[in-house]
Amino acid sequence: MMRQLDGNNLKIAIQRKGRLAQSSQRFLRSLGLEFEYSDGRLFSNCSNLPIDLLFLRDDDIPEYVQDGVADLGIAGLNILREQQARVVRLESLGFGACRLCIAVPNHGPLKCLDDLSGKRIATSYPSTLKGFLQEKGLRADIIKIRGSVEIAPSLDVADAICDLVSTGSTLRQNDLKAIGTLIESQAVLMGNPDSFKDAVKATLIDRLRIRVQGTLKARSTKYVMMNAPRSAMESIRETLPGMRSPTVMPLADQDMMAIHAAVPEETFWDVIEKLKGSGAQDILVLPVEKMVL
């Protein structure tokens, strides 16, 4: 049975509906938080930790964290920049990737950013757009619109739009093309500075951040196991970027060794090719679920 909100519990605000809602819930569950959610529910109590989750509109999350209604929040960097809330940005979470872009009709006269001077730009991000135009030395009329921004040029409400782009399919469907990127966005974890002054909450936040960092590190790491001749050990040891040094174990064949190591995703294929060149055999690659350093 759901309890009422506990004023002493740590409170985390996440999106109730929208592109980050399910991903935020999955991410919190990957940290070991146990909670229930159903449509229409505005909060949930964690059954295994003194944490309450608040399910809010994405635009409200930075303000709730800023005002101390929530101690932590997960929202897109695009929202955080637009709201300019007084919060602490703690971690980039690696999901919800998108871009805030300026787009124009495919077959219209606007081809580049310089063409925007004196034009009308429709957006749900007026503050971010205003700062970008000032930085570029451009003067344009900003038309604030909430939702369905892509249709504005077709209705002659605006000459261009500034909106989030993930795959670009919505732009293509509306015969638009991106001509400039304001920010690269993803989900971020933010915190209220005053929450760190509460010793109990600060301790729990530190525990969660260790879990967050461990989960993110694991997602960008592969666990590699291989066999190799003893004669190749020095070359392989120099190739492997492991956390400290690879694990090395003898095999029944005295001329062969088993080697285990963690390899960062961004260098994975280069490392594997060098290992093969050094004599590594029977290479097995496994995902890493968690990594606590």
Domain holding 213: CATH number? 3.40.190.10
pLDDT of amino acid 89 = 95
pLDDT average per 10 residues of sequence, the chain (293 residues): 70 93 95 90 91 94 96 96 94 94 94 95 96 95 91 94 92 94 96 95 95 90 92 86 75 90 89 90 88 75
pLDDT of amino acid 39 = 82
Number of domains in the chain: 3
pLDDT of amino acid 247 = 85
Between strands 88-92 and 187-191, the pairing is antiparallel
Return the sign of the alpha-carbon dihedral for residues 251, 254, 256, 260.
Answer: positive
CATH number where 241 lies: 3.30.70.120
Is the domain of 104 the same as that of 169? Answer: yes
Specify if 137 maps to a domain. yes
pLDDT of amino acid 242 = 55
The Cα–Cα gap between 279 and 107 comes to 56
Secondary structure, 3-state, 174-227: CCEEEEEEEEEECEEEEECHHHHHCHHHHHHHHHHHHHHHHHHHHHCEEEEEEE
The Cα–Cα gap between 201 and 207 comes to 10
The Cα–Cα gap between 178 and 165 comes to 9
Residue 157 sits in which domain range? 98-185
Q: Bridge partners of 105?
A: 176
Token code pair at residue 66: 């800023």
